[in-house]
Structure 1
Amino acid sequence: MDEKMKKHRLTFAFVILFFIIFYVIIYNNKAATERSESSLVLEDFGGITMAVQSVEGTKITVHINYSADDPAIFGADYILEIKKGQRWYSLPVKDGIMFTSIGYQLKKGDSLPWSTDFEILYGKLSAGHYRIIKSFRIEPQQETSKEYFISAEFLIS
């Protein structure tokens, strides 16, 4: 088997593993009927930025810029949180929702918009200060991959 095929299989395996882990996180959030204080640690990874480009109705579009040397992978999954006072709280997810197992690869210099309709997962949002969180897996050539969570804040009025 050639090196390129091995790399593709490894990337596919990481994407599948990522979605299994994310499903467990969502499943645990479903058990809570109320918002729970966020325990997610957002790490600053200078090679990737995400900013909210627009919020129209229940559709949010973020713009992702990638400048690191090693490739990254991200999926369709995301988390929404609401800010109350100085703390962030995870929003409960509707029952029976799952993400598709899709993986997007980012290379140095990539810049792209990514959109989702949050009503499908979270319903209509009331007025407030929110943030969308996405995870990215960085895949260095000779090291173990690492997952980062980054966020972008937005308001619903």
Structure 2
Amino acid sequence: MDKKIRKRVFIIASVITFFLILIYREKINYKDNNDINPIRSESTIVLNDYSGVTMTAKRVADTKIAVNINNSADESVTFGEDYILEVKEGNKWYSLPAKDDIMFTSIGYELKKGSDFPWSTDYEILYGILPAGQYRIIKGFSIELQQETPKKYFISAEFSI
């Protein structure tokens, strides 16, 4: 086969492959980050099971949410930048799929007994533009008791868009 024929075969095969990917993209894990329905699952996270640590939504504007985390427990708690968003449909909560290849800054905030911590984020970075609805933001925190493995708990705050 001469070079011209090989080149034509390669170009035709590439074009066909491109069109097949466009046609079947939904079957190869394609998801639209602005659609809250694909690849979601019913929430199984146990929330607010540690008395004394609470989170309240203070402000939701555009794609930003500001919360206040309060610790009235006897121990200090530690949390980071990571969070999860869930949407309510009927009486059930569903985890929203996050955009691929997202990482959080590995930072730890210590919240001592009797203190508050204002925290905010722009959820569009991780979840895209969300339609109107009832949502909740979930943050994990840990407690280190002396000579024990740290225990992980989750708190949530509901908000509407």
Which residue does the alignment assign to 1:124?
A: 129
Moved over 2 A (4+): 141-144
Instruction: Confirm or deny: 8 A CA contact 1:53 1:61 kept in the other structure.
Output: yes
Which residue does the alignment assign to 1:77?
A: 82
Structure 2 matches for 1:20-59, cutoff 5 A? Answer: 33-59=38-64
Q: 1:143 aligns with which of 137, 142, 148?
A: 148
Which residue does the alignment assign to 2:23?
A: none
Shift of 1:44: 2.1
Shift of 1:79: 0.2
Shift of 1:109: 1.3
Instruction: Confirm or deny: 8 A CA contact 1:71 1:140 kept in the other structure.
Output: no
Shift of 1:110: 1.3
Distance of 1:58 and 1:85 partners within structure 2 = 23
Instruction: Confirm or deny: 8 A CA contact 1:82 1:129 kept in the other structure.
Output: yes
Instruction: Confirm or deny: 8 A CA contact 1:70 1:141 kept in the other structure.
Output: no
Which residue does the alignment assign to 1:103?
A: 108
Shift of 1:34: 2.4
Shift of 1:129: 0.3
Which residue does the alignment assign to 2:68?
A: 63
Equivalent residues, number? 126
Distance of 2:87 and 2:55 partners within structure 1 = 18
TM-score (norm 1): 0.76
Give the 3-state SS of the residue equivalent to 1:121 in structure 2: helix
Structure 1 unmatched ranges of 5 or more = 1-29
Instruction: Confirm or deny: 8 A CA contact 1:37 1:89 kept in the other structure.
Output: yes
Structure 2 unmatched ranges of 5 or more = 1-30, 32-36
Distance of 1:39 and 1:125 partners within structure 2 = 22
Instruction: Confirm or deny: 8 A CA contact 2:77 2:111 kept in the other structure.
Output: yes
Deviation track 1:18-39 (CA, whole Å, cap 9, x = no partner) reads: xxxxxxxxxxxx9x94221112
Shift of 1:108: 0.8
TM-score (norm 2): 0.74
